[in-house]
Amino acid sequence: MVKKAVLIGINYPGTEGELLGCINDVKRMHKSLVELYGFSEENIVELIDTDESQTQPTGKNIRQAFWDLVGSAQPGDVLFVHYSGHGTRLPPETGEDDDTGYDECIVPSDINYITDDDIKEIVSHVPKGCSFTFVSDSCHSGGLIDSAKEQIGESFKKKSNKRFKCLFGLFCYKGTTSEAESKEETPIKIDDDENDVNGRNRFLPLQTSIKMLKQATGRDDIKEGNIRTTLFDLFGEDASPKVRKFMKVILSNMQESTGEGLMLRSLAEQAIILLKDKLNDEEYLKPAMETRVKSKKEVYAGVINGGLGSNGILLSGCQTNQVSADVGSRDKAYGAFTNSLQIILAETKGKISYKELVLKSRKYLEKQGYPQRPGLYCSDSYVNAPFIC
* pLDDT tens by residue, 185-223: 333 344 444 444 567 888 888 888 888 888 888 888 888
User: 292 by DSSP, 3-state: which?
Assistant: helix
Global pTM exceeds 0.85: no
User: 118 by DSSP, 3-state: which?
Assistant: helix
Question: Mind listing the pLDDT tens digit for each residue in 305-341?
Answer: 334 445 899 999 998 888 999 999 878 899 999 999 9
Confidence at residue 266, expressed as pLDDT on a 0 to 100 scale = 47
What percent of the chain is predicted at pLDDT more than 90?
49
Q: Which long-range contacts (CB under 8 A, 24 or more apart) does 221-230 make?
A: 225/279, 225/280, 226/275, 226/276, 226/279, 227/90, 228/90, 228/93, 228/279, 229/271, 229/272, 229/275, 229/279
Q: Is 310 exposed, middle or buried (0-12, 13-18, 19+ CB in 10 A)?
A: middle
Question: Does the structural domain 3-153+305-378 have CATH classification 3.30.499.10?
Answer: no
Confidence at residue 107, expressed as pLDDT on a 0 to 100 scale = 95
Rounded to whole angstroms, how far apart are CA atoms 141 and 324? 9
Annotated domain spans of the chain: 3-153+305-378, 207-299
Of 30, 82, 86, 140, catalytic: 86
What percent of the chain is predicted at pLDDT more than 70?
70
Rounded to whole angstroms, how far apart are CA atoms 80 and 5? 5
Whether residue 157 contacts residue 176, with contact meaning beta carbons closer than 8 Å, is answered with yes
Whether residue 290 contacts residue 166, with contact meaning beta carbons closer than 8 Å, is answered with no
86 is catalytic: yes
Whether residue 150 contacts residue 358, with contact meaning beta carbons closer than 8 Å, is answered with no
Whether residue 49 contacts residue 10, with contact meaning beta carbons closer than 8 Å, is answered with yes
Residues 6+ apart with CB under 8 A from 44: 4, 5, 6, 7, 30, 33, 34
Q: Is 347 exposed, middle or buried (0-12, 13-18, 19+ CB in 10 A)?
A: exposed
Other CB atoms within 10 Å distance of the CB of residue 328: 22
Question: Mind listing the pLDDT tens digit for each residue in 347-376?
Answer: 999 999 999 999 999 999 999 999 999 999
139 is catalytic: yes
Rounded to whole angstroms, how far apart are CA atoms 290 and 249? 10
Please report which residue ranges of 236-382 form alpha helices under DSSP H: 241-258, 267-275, 282-299, 336-348, 354-367
Question: Mind listing the pLDDT tens digit for each residue in 136-193?
Answer: 999 888 777 766 789 998 876 544 433 333 343 333 333 333 333 333 333 334 444 4
User: 82 by DSSP, 3-state: which?
Assistant: strand
Confidence at residue 389, expressed as pLDDT on a 0 to 100 scale = 74
Of 130, 139, 318, 378, catalytic: 139
What does DSSP say about strands 103-106 and 312-316: parallel, antiparallel, or unpaired? unpaired
Give the orientation angle of helix 336-348 with respect to helix 354-367, to 10 degrees: 120
